[in-house]
Amino acid sequence: MRNILIVGSGKSSSYLVKYLLDKSESDDLFITIGDINTTNAEKLIQNHKRAKAVVLDVFDEESRSSAIEKADIVISMLPARFHMEVAKDCLRFSKHLVTASYVSEEMKALDQQVREKGLVFMNEIGVDPGIDHMSAMQVIDRIRSMGGKIILFESFTGGLVAPESDNNLWNYKFTWNPRNVVVAGQGGAAKFLQEGTYKYVPYHRLFRRTEFLDVEGYGRFEAYANRDSLKYQYEYGLDAVKTLYRGTIRRVGFSRAWNLFVQLGMTDDGYVLEHSENMSYRDFVNSFLPYSPTDSVELKFRHQLNIDQDDIIWDKFEELDIFSSKKKVGLKDATPAQVLQKILMDSWTLTAEDKDMIVMYHIFGYELDGKKHQIDSTMVTLGEDQTYTAMAKTVGLPVAMAALDILKGKIKTPGVQIPITKEIYEPILKELSESGIKFIEKDVQYFGYNPLNI
Amino acid sequence: MRNILIVGSGKSSSYLVKYLLDKSESDDLFITIGDINTTNAEKLIQNHKRAKAVVLDVFDEESRSSAIEKADIVISMLPARFHMEVAKDCLRFSKHLVTASYVSEEMKALDQQVREKGLVFMNEIGVDPGIDHMSAMQVIDRIRSMGGKIILFESFTGGLVAPESDNNLWNYKFTWNPRNVVVAGQGGAAKFLQEGTYKYVPYHRLFRRTEFLDVEGYGRFEAYANRDSLKYQYEYGLDAVKTLYRGTIRRVGFSRAWNLFVQLGMTDDGYVLEHSENMSYRDFVNSFLPYSPTDSVELKFRHQLNIDQDDIIWDKFEELDIFSSKKKVGLKDATPAQVLQKILMDSWTLTAEDKDMIVMYHIFGYELDGKKHQIDSTMVTLGEDQTYTAMAKTVGLPVAMAALDILKGKIKTPGVQIPITKEIYEPILKELSESGIKFIEKDVQYFGYNPLNI
């Protein structure tokens, strides 16, 4: 029997657990889910005889190491900052490890030891990062095998609300950690490459430098740049690339409105507002606007942000009820970002019936036989309900598949790694496609940023 | 003989040394100036028989502690981050200490020990902080002694170029550390109080929330908010104050133009530009603008920043020659802020003939006998040349005077402190006034932010 230990059983574990339970008989698996609180784990297991939930505090060495020692492979679904506790024990007891998180410097530093023990520490194998790596490298490798040279690569992902549940003016709801949405883009300028020129966008301009994307059957989206697109140049081996851009997808109009929060300073998570507990939503907004004995908060908001009286952006803010003097913040020593999150959660929390959606869009530009070509590749996944979400599916399935492939020896190259080699992506993308996570590719006319080649 | 040790002999030491040398006979002083490099110290001393320059590396314990041990009082003119090395030795050898820098948390933590030894550790006794504290507290204490209640306090300071040397379109030159000017306002939102409402301004809005100030004989200035104005509420004992605002003074129009650098992200000091060494000034500007195969950097700059073709702001940027494709950055691994500093130093470096200017402006609003009153208090100091600058005068003289007053026992309350008590400010402000650093006070109609009392 192969023992799989899953550490952490949060929102993104539903499909992961279901997939492994479905394979537990045929592949002779036993799944142990460790969490501080086992309620959700027990709900996911539903008394399955090949699984159990155990109390596991990742900072309690005793319970952590004894659980890891018993496993053949460990899947860490904890927040990224907690992976290292698990990783060190995996190394100590010679166990493989799978995470959906970015490889940290600390994790990378284990590479040599992991190789020496012949272990696989697979990271960035969720949706973004994860499915994006695999689906991009599959096309990139194919273009290369034909003798083509990649000159442009753009990649966009968004976690959104499904069209049938898309019923507010922002065309957005929180389908993932709301805090990450509120502070998205902070912590340094975005960097990317356009036609050979390095471009830098500070946070306060990020939401005004968007691009449009059309997805057949789903209409138009927009995207703003993710942090550092340049690191993918090295990882994907895109030496000759002239354009490299990674972005986050939203529905059209979201970024222009979100920018107003950024402009006012409402997304700042770096200081605490005086007397935040007793503030009304209106007080909160007013604290970012100049004092006036006569003018209303509404007029000051319009004036500071240049909102014409007939601009439809206005309705988005009214919908959030941010000018209410009755609704109270009720959070002690809160940062602006925390208050904004609270206000947005009033309006953007998914209801029991709501479904989510993951959208991914890659653009590949390449030269072959002296001509320029372009492939657009898109993937849309819809959630089924509030447990079996599109987010949980696209994060959990590749994690589960990778874990099984490592156990079966299909993935065997040792080291701390990300899924960018054929050995990894071919079987997983095929299986994902069978589970409905499919990319639609189109050959289109090469466009780039200099279509007339001036 | 009283021994004074001055550690550091940079730009702001000229008046400090001159003042002490002028008093050295009458007050029986001997002045030792310690610096890693004694060139400037020797220039300031000019073989005066009551002074000498010694090599002193603040991180070399031997030379530092032996110099401090011999002194009766130590003046640290080092950058603020180096004061603690000096402060610890002053405590060890029971010596008084004077600095012009903000009290750090580490410095504050010494208070108890400093008191126990009966020592005076005087900080924030330069111009800003320093003269601002003293001149403000003098008026505040006077209003209080009349039975008045302070309801508004605003305080503004600027280091500028003197009118006779004011010959560029920005009406600004670097009269102090250029780096501090480029990154000014960064590191968190500005906080202040207006008519009882707490206000927060993020960095990227700071230069668009200015106030105007008129100084008789010098025309109109503008000011943008300094970091945290609120901390002065406690230090000045302004419990009932409704408006509290500290700001930095510039000539009108500076902030609106500077804001464009901020908007583009050119003041960011947090990351390194790719291939900065080989960039032209034009390349630098272009890296913050979207790619276009056809449009010029100039047009993209105008379009991104909404600059009309007849807006005079444009001439300010042309004057800096930032669109030059010939001028090279020539700095390896430079941050945007470092490149911007280099470009600005081409245009804003003082020439040998240039003079500088310090402008200070306080506004006091108070209630007395049921009526509201206002006092405006202004101070302008002009530099004499490039050694005897207004900055060196306004920083160095109060430091020197405080040191002498401590030596003479006029200032005797022990502890880590700032100059906000009568014991300190009365004699020093009187002496400063005799040296030409004078405040002009005017009783004006109370204005505040709610003149109609609505």
Note whether B364 and B235 are same-domain residues: yes
* pLDDT given for residue A186 in this prediction: 95
The yes-or-no verdict on residue B452 having pLDDT over 90 is no
Do A68 and A93 meet the contact criterion of CB atoms below 8 Å apart?
yes
Chain A residues in contact with B271 (beta carbon < 8 A): 188-189, 191, 200
Q: Do B39 and B136 belong together in one domain?
A: no
Q: Give me the DSSP letters along A22-68.
A: HTTTTTTEEEEEEESS-HHHHHHHTT-TTEEEEE--TT-HHHHHHHH
Q: Let me know whether B237 and B374 are in one domain.
A: yes
What span, in angstroms and rounded, lies between the C-alpha atoms of A29 and A398? Answer: 17
> CA B287, B288, B294, B298: dihedral to nearest 10 degrees?
-110
Please write the tens of the pLDDT for every residue from B235-292.
Answer: 899 988 999 999 999 999 999 999 999 999 999 999 999 999 999 999 999 999 999 9
In Å, how far is A204's CA from the nearest CA of chain B? 7
Residue B367 forms part of a structural domain: yes
At A46, list the tokens: 């539903």
Q: pLDDT digits over A378-399, tens only?
A: 999 999 999 999 999 999 999 9
pLDDT at position B453 over 80: no
The answer to whether residue B278 sits within a structural domain is no
pLDDT in the model for residue A337: 98
Option in B209, B274, B294 nearest A454 (CB): B294
Chain B residue numbers touching A200 (CB-CB < 8 A)? 265, 268, 271, 273, 287-288, 336
Domain co-membership, B387 together with B439: yes
Say if the Cβ atoms of A265 and B189 lie within 8 Å: yes
The pLDDT of residue A234: 87
Question: Is residue A69 domain-shared with residue A192, that is, in the same domain?
Answer: no
Q: Considering B78, B99, B120, which residue would you say is the last residue of a domain?
A: B99
Same-domain check for residues B206 and B246? yes
**pLDDT (0 to 100) of residue A59:** 92
Residues of A with Cβ-Cβ distance to B286 under 8 angstroms: 197
Which of A230, A271, A291 is facing B195, going by the closest CB pair? A291
Q: What is the CATH number of the domain that holds A7?
A: 3.40.50.720
Amino acid B78 reads: L
Task: Check A202 against B264: CB less than 8 A apart.
Answer: yes
* One domain, residues B249 and B136: yes
Rounded to an integer, the average pLDDT of A174-194 is 94
Q: What is the pLDDT of residue A12?
A: 87
Check which CATH number belongs to the domain holding A232 and give it. Answer: 3.30.360.10
Q: B69 with B173, same domain?
A: no
Residue B323 lies in a domain: no
Check: CB of residue A38 under 8 Å from CB of residue A106: no
Strands (E), A369-447: 371-382, 415-417, 440-444
Q: For B426-436, what is each residue's pLDDT tens digit? A: 999 999 999 99
Residue A190 contacts residue A200 (beta carbons within 8 Å)? yes
Nearest to B265 among A200, A291, A453 (CB): A200
Mutate to test the interface with A, among B152, B197, B260 (most CBs of A within 10 A): B197
As a whole number, mean pLDDT of residues A76-103 equals 95
Q: What value does the mean pLDDT take over residues A265-279?
A: 97
User: Could you tell me which residues of chain B have a Cβ less than 8 Å from any Cβ in chain A?
Assistant: 188-189, 191, 194-195, 197-202, 204-205, 209, 230, 263-265, 268, 270-271, 273-275, 286-294, 336, 449-450, 452-454
pLDDT for A454 equals 67
Q: What stretch of H or E contains A343? A: helix A336-348
pLDDT above 70 as % of chain B: 99
Q: Do A291 and B197 touch (CB under 8 A)?
A: yes
Listing DSSP states for A254-303 in one string gives HHHHHHHHHHHTTT--SS--TTGGG-BHHHHHHTTS---SSS-HHHHHHH
Same domain for B142 and B245: yes
CA distance, residue B134 to nearest chain A CA (Å): 28
Query: Do B194 and B186 form a contact (C-beta atoms < 8 A)?
Result: no
Of A75, A99, A123, the one marking the end of a domain is A99
User: For residue A341, is it within any domain?
Assistant: no
Question: Could you tell me how many CB contacts below 8 A there are between chain A and chain B?
Answer: 105
Nearest-Cα residue of chain A relative to residue B188: A270
Residue B69 counted as domain residue:
yes
Domain of residue B361, residue span: 131-257+352-444
CB A336 within 8 A of CB A267: yes
Looking at the domain assignment, is residue A361 inside a domain? yes
Q: In which band, very low, low, confident or very high, does the pLDDT at B231 lie, cut at 50, 70 and 90?
A: confident
Residues from chain B that touch A230, judged by Cβ atoms under 8 A, are 274
Q: How confident is the model at residue B448 (pLDDT cuts 50, 70, 90)?
A: confident
Using an 8 Å CB-CB cutoff, list chain A residues near B198: 273-275, 287
Identify whether B336 is preceded by a cis peptide bond (ω within 30 of 0): no
pLDDT digits (tens, 9 = 90+) for A306-354: 999 999 999 999 999 999 999 999 999 999 999 999 999 999 999 999 9
Q: pLDDT digit string (tens) for A136-155?
A: 999 999 999 999 999 999 99
Res B454 pLDDT > 80 = no
Q: How many domains does chain A have?
A: 2
Contacts of B268 in chain A (CB under 8 A): 189, 200, 202
A140 and A71 together in one domain: no
Instruction: Tell me which residue of B5, B231, B193 sits closest to B108, measured CA to CA.
Output: B231
Is B310 part of a structural domain of the chain? no
Q: According to the model, what pLDDT value does residue A240 have?
A: 87
Question: Is the same domain home to A158 and A37?
Answer: no
The pairing of strands A243-251 and A356-368 is unpaired
pLDDT digit string (tens) for B54-79? 999 999 999 999 999 999 999 999 99
Tell whether B135 and B64 lie within a shared domain.
no
Task: Single out the residue in A48, A81, A99 at which a domain terminates.
Answer: A99
Report yes or no on A416 lying in a domain: yes
Distance from CA of A333 to the nearest CA of B (A): 14
